[in-house]
Amino acid sequence: MIIKHKGLILALFILLALVNTFLATRVKTNFDLASYLPKSAPSTIAIDTMMEAYEQDIPNAEIGVPVESISQALEKKEAILALPYVKEALWLDDQADLAIPLDLLDQQLVQGFYKEGMALFHVTLDGEVKAMDVLSELQDLAGPDGAVRGAVVETANMQKGVTVEITQIVIVAVPLAFIILLIATKSWFEPVLFMIVVFVGVLLNMGTNVIFKDVSFITQAVGAVLQLAVSMDYAIFLLHRFSDYREEGYSIEEAMKLAIAKSFSPVSSSALTTLFGFLTLIFMRFQIGPDLGIVLAKGVVFSLLSVFFLLPVLAMYTYKIIDKTTHKSLLPTFKKFSRLIVRIGIPVMIACALILVPAYLAQKSNHFLYGSNTFPKGSREARDVEMLDQRFGEIMQMVLLVPRGQWAVEERLAQDLMDLPEMRSVVGYVNQVGTSIPPDILPERIISQLVSEDYSRLILIAESPVESPETYALAETIREMVDQAYPEGGTHLAGANFVLLDMKTTINQDMIIVNGLAILAIGLIIMIAFRSIALPLLLVLTIELSVWINLAIPYFGGTSLNYIGYLIISTVQLGATVDYGILLTQHYL
């Protein structure tokens, strides 16, 4: 069928590639990691409840502006509030009576908002606004000697980062893959065919992502290069078979028919192991897993379709060019290497047995990062963060919702929270208005941001690293204090530290399940393919050891590892490299 209708197949793939190139530009990218937490996560429930009760988000930006006086700081605050995408701006005047001289106020409170000639405003921006669009305006407002930090800066950095990462992939990964193909093939033109086929598969995958509401920025950044890496083998295997049958004297059509028939079983088996490795990610409760897993699994399917339909057509149309550009193999014979491996086989097995347990324990003991608060060195964003960290310390902004009406309990809790050494300020009805004044007699515009129909809202500002053991400890401490104050429940805590804590808890549970399922699925495929129980154990253990060694390197090097990197390596390396184990085993047996 493929050979008979090769013109139609080529036209269809050209059309699909063009359509999906356009569709790929319509795919929406999600930069909010918190939105991928399970709906049952406490921080997710807190954010949803807060948005429903107040239509107000957590402060997501801090703007440091050089000022010469309190009156100038208040003018800057009004300028910030005048921006159409700003919902709220908190400053010292929301905490204290500025008619009182600053020297007579609590100095810890004052210096959290006004220090060394700089006013620090805690700003809530509209969640629908695109961070990249507003960051430059906020930086202009702060001025060259001012600074901006917070979630909006991190999001803008991620938005820029995706574009940078994709550009780097095109500049570095693609030429590198092309060079490897030149070395691995016997024709100068074959790598061109490989790259065309793989890129068509990538385009089909990226374009069909439009069927989803959105895809994560992580999937958008790494999906194409991972698909390129895992699917290149399929094309190489098919074209090598085609070349072998041509050398045996078969015609172009017969050689391609035999190549497709003989390649289908090993290539599809190889693809299945990779496919199931990716699909195990859908069992993660943290939805980044399903987001990444489904797109990558879909990519494997499109790569297979491109290899078995488009590559044969292109090869038959261009076989004369392939023949004219044939060259001697650039790869060495590896005979000496193979003899060396056979000679040192037993010592290598002993060494592997000795490092098996240490490598496993080391990769489990890595220090993981779950956030995205790193910026390019020398950038305005990195400079701003360093400036504000040095002057005001590292700030964590949180929101606490408690049942309305229990003013005595709320007042006592607010004071207990202020007694925490990390706490800078607690803003709520009990200390802004006072428990002696019933909220029902006050105008709506005064109390709407503090009290809703069911809840009283407190904004907490603490000095805490963005992500560290201290961050998690503070989140757990505050949760315990709130639970003790309101044993009947009905409270909600939202903030970056609570999101990170929920991410950490969820992901740690997810990875145990995902790794187990990936090993089980791939082991079953190998067992069915070879009709053996021992071979799956041997192959999976070999690949897992390589994964553990790879992931143990950051631990022994004393560097932190982003959980996304761990997720991709632990799943993709297993699913992708088991192909080589299967191929080697097939040749040996």
**Half-sphere CA count of 101, side-chain side, radius 13 A:** 2
Residues 492, 428 share a domain: yes
Residue 512: what pLDDT?
Answer: 81
Q: Which residues are within 8 A (CB) of 138 and not within 5 positions of it... i.e. 6 or more apart? A: 61, 63, 148, 152
Q: Which of 120-129, 291-300, 532-541 tops mean pLDDT?
A: 291-300
pLDDT above 60: residue 446: no
User: Averaged over 578-584, what is the pLDDT?
Assistant: 76
- β-bridge mates for residue 425, sequence order: 461
CATH code of residue 404: 3.30.70
> Pick the residue with more confidence: 301 or 224?
301
Question: Within this chain, do residues 133 and 222 fall inside the same structural domain, yes or no?
Answer: no
Domain C-terminal end among 331, 355, 372: 331
Alpha-carbon distance of 314 to 229, in angstroms, equals 21
Hey, which residues does 562 pair with through a beta bridge?
369
CB 582 within 8 A of CB 529: yes
* Contact partners, residue 52, CB within 8 Å, separation at least 6: none
pLDDT at 230 over 90: no
Looking at the predicted structure, is the pLDDT value of residue 178 above 70? yes
What is the rounded average pLDDT of the residues 238-246? 88
Asked whether residue 561 is assigned to any structural domain, the reply reads no
Judge whether 238 and 309 are in contact, CB under 8 Å.
Answer: no
DSSP collapsed to 3 states, 446-464: HHCCCECCCEEEEEEEEEC
Q: What is the average pLDDT across 303-326?
A: 91
Query: Looking at residues 292-321, what average pLDDT do you find?
Result: 92
**Which of the two residues, 59 and 214, has the higher pLDDT score?**
214
CA distance from start to end of the chain: 33
Residues 400 and 288 in one domain: no
Give φ, ψ of 69 to 5 degrees. Answer: -160, 170
Whether residue 81 lies inside any domain: the answer is: yes
Query: Of 61-65, 104-108, 384-388, which range is least confident?
Result: 104-108
Kindly state whether residues 250 and 399 are assigned to the same domain.
Answer: no
Query: Hey, which residues does 114 pair with through a beta bridge?
Result: 119
The pLDDT score that the predictor gives to residue 440 is 63
Model pLDDT, residue 447: 67
pLDDT digits (tens, 9 = 90+) for 192-215: 998 899 999 999 999 999 999 999
Same structural domain, 174 and 314: yes
**Does one domain contain both 410 and 494?**
yes
Segment 147-177, tens digit of pLDDT: 999 888 888 887 777 777 677 777 877 888 8
Q: Is residue 342 part of a domain?
A: no
Supply the mean pLDDT for the chain: 85
Whether residue 236 is found in the same domain as residue 271: yes
* Contact predicate 150/62, CB 8 Å: yes
pLDDT-derived band of residue 442, with 50, 70 and 90 as boundaries?
A: low
Asked whether residue 166 is domain-assigned, the answer is yes
**Within-domain flag for 46:** no
Higher-pLDDT residue of 217 and 66 is: 66
Q: Domain boundary at 476, 502, 528, which?
A: 502
pTM above 0.75, yes or no: yes
Final residue of a structural domain among 149, 182, 213: 149
Residues 211 and 117 in one domain: no
In this prediction, what percent of the chain has a pLDDT beyond 90?
25
Report the CATH number that the domain containing residue 250 is assigned in CATH.
Answer: 1.20.1640.10
Biggest distance spanned by C-alpha atoms of the chain? 98
In the chain, how many domains are there? 3
The per-residue pLDDT for 125 is 87
Are both 99 and 242 inside the same structural domain? Answer: no
Task: Give 130-151 pLDDT, tens digit per residue.
Answer: 787 888 889 999 999 999 998 8
Q: What is the mean pLDDT of residues 300-328?
A: 90
Q: Which residue has the tokens 């699925």?
A: 521
The gap from C-alpha 461 to its chain's centroid, in whole angstroms, comes to 27
- Asked if 220 and 564 count as a contact pair (C-beta separation under 8 A), the reply is no
Phi-psi region of 488 (alpha: psi -120 to 50; beta: other; left: phi over 0): alpha
Identify the pLDDT of residue 264: 86
Residues 139, 103 share a domain: yes
Closest listed residue to residue 240, CA positions, set 176, 177, 190: 190
Tell me the C-alpha distance between 239 and 377, whole Å.
Answer: 45
Do 270 and 234 contact (CB within 8 A), yes or no? Answer: yes
Q: Which domain holds residue 220?
A: 1-30+162-331
Phi, psi of 393 (to 5 degrees): 85, 170
DSSP 187: B
pLDDT at 406 over 70: yes
Do 95 and 193 fall within a single domain?
Answer: no
Q: What DSSP character marks residue 5? A: T
Q: Which of 264, 256, 277, 274 is nearest to 305 (CA)?
A: 264
Contact 141, 81 (CB under 8 A): no
Burial level of 132, CB count in 10 A (0-12/13-18/19+)?
A: middle
In a domain, 519, yes or no: no
The confidence score (pLDDT) of residue 177 equals 81
Please state, in angstroms and rounded to a whole number, the distance separating the CA atoms of residues 460 and 228.
Answer: 46
3-state secondary structure 341-364: HHHCHHHHHHHHHHHHHHHHHHHH
CA angle 406, 408, 414 (to 5 degrees): 100
Q: Give the helix/strand (H/E) hosting 562.
A: strand 561-562
Indicate whether 294 and 439 sit together in one domain. Answer: no
Residue 250 counted as domain residue: yes
- 543 belongs to a structural domain: no
Please give the pLDDT value at position 444. Answer: 58
Q: How confident is the model at residue 303 (pLDDT cuts 50, 70, 90)?
A: very high
